[in-house]
Structure 1
């Protein structure tokens, strides 16, 4: 099954907000990004705070999109499907 993860983040730049879409192939990359955002770890290039807006899992075989939300279970980040 081919899956891609689309993560939308919001970066606050003073009076302006900028949304960015990141595409990842593995859920471990998404979990790493969530952990970095939650811990407040900032790169030396971008000093602006970043917040998580939404996570979507796209199934490329069947053409289905699921909205996911991060949760913490047993001190590990887990991606669960959102209730509609």
Structure 2
């Protein structure tokens, strides 16, 4: 997830420089609302997980992004 974010958002960081629980927005990585949309696109394209507008607010850290992907992937497996 970290590497995908770095590539998608052209961040000048390495995965080791991003803490799993560091805030993505504000004082953390300093991302903004446009970046949130890019993250949603990334999740949809890379992980085949649809993201609703309401879920954009849950993009708080790497951990919350991974949790979202894992929950959606597990739910899709159970439904299949």
TM-score w.r.t. the length of structure 2 is: 0.30
TM-score w.r.t. the length of structure 1 is: 0.29
Compare the two structures and name the one with the higher helix fraction.
Answer: 2
Compare the two structures and name the one with the higher strand fraction.
Answer: 1
